[in-house]
Amino acid sequence: MPGIARKLTTAVPLGVVALIVSLALVAACDGEAEPPPTPPPAASPAATAVPILDGQTLFRQTCAVCHGVDLQGTNQGPPFLDRIYAPGHHSDASFRLAVQRGVVAHHWTFGNMPKIEGLSDVQVEAIIAYVRDQQKQAGVY
């Protein structure tokens, strides 16, 4: 019988260890997975329209004297509804730089564009959003 007693004393600790590990795993995986993060709500059309409307007002106050109220240009500045101003040729960054630094004439014969003072970055972004919206509506891109 000494062989049987030896097997029982060895088997009991292994059984206890297996039971403890099993209970720990069950406790760690209680069956409730963490829910996935909630995606942010999509922008409503009204929320998107606000910057465009502000951009329209700012464009008319700041840019229209040269680029036209309807973005068709004037005798002082080029039209933004020309394909040359589509995002693939003149990116939003180029519009930002034009406001910040001015532009040396390179496509038209209107002369150089001076830098535009007094607009915040947010206002410039609103103007760009308005111009891009008008370009899309006109089929520029």
Per residue in 40-84, pLDDT tens? 555 545 556 667 779 999 999 999 999 999 999 999 999 999 999
Question: What is the pLDDT at residue 53?
Answer: 79
Query: For residue 25, what pLDDT band results from cuts at 50, 70 and 90?
Result: very low
Q: Does residue 59 contact residue 134 with C-beta atoms inside 8 Å?
A: no
**DSSP string for residues in 10-33:** HHHHHHHHHHHHHHHHHHH--S-P
Q: How many CB atoms lie within 10 A of CB 98?
A: 16
The architecture (CATH level 2) of 47-138 comes to Orthogonal Bundle (1.10)
Amino acid letter for position 113: M
Residue 12 pLDDT > 90: no
Mean pLDDT along residues 102-125: 95
Selection from 81, 58, 98, 93 nearest residue 133 by Cα: 81
Neighbours of 124 (CB within 10 A): 20
Average pLDDT, the chain: 81
> Is residue 86 predicted with pLDDT exceeding 60?
yes
pLDDT, greater one: 81 or 31: 81
Say if pTM beats, i.e. exceeds, 0.95: no
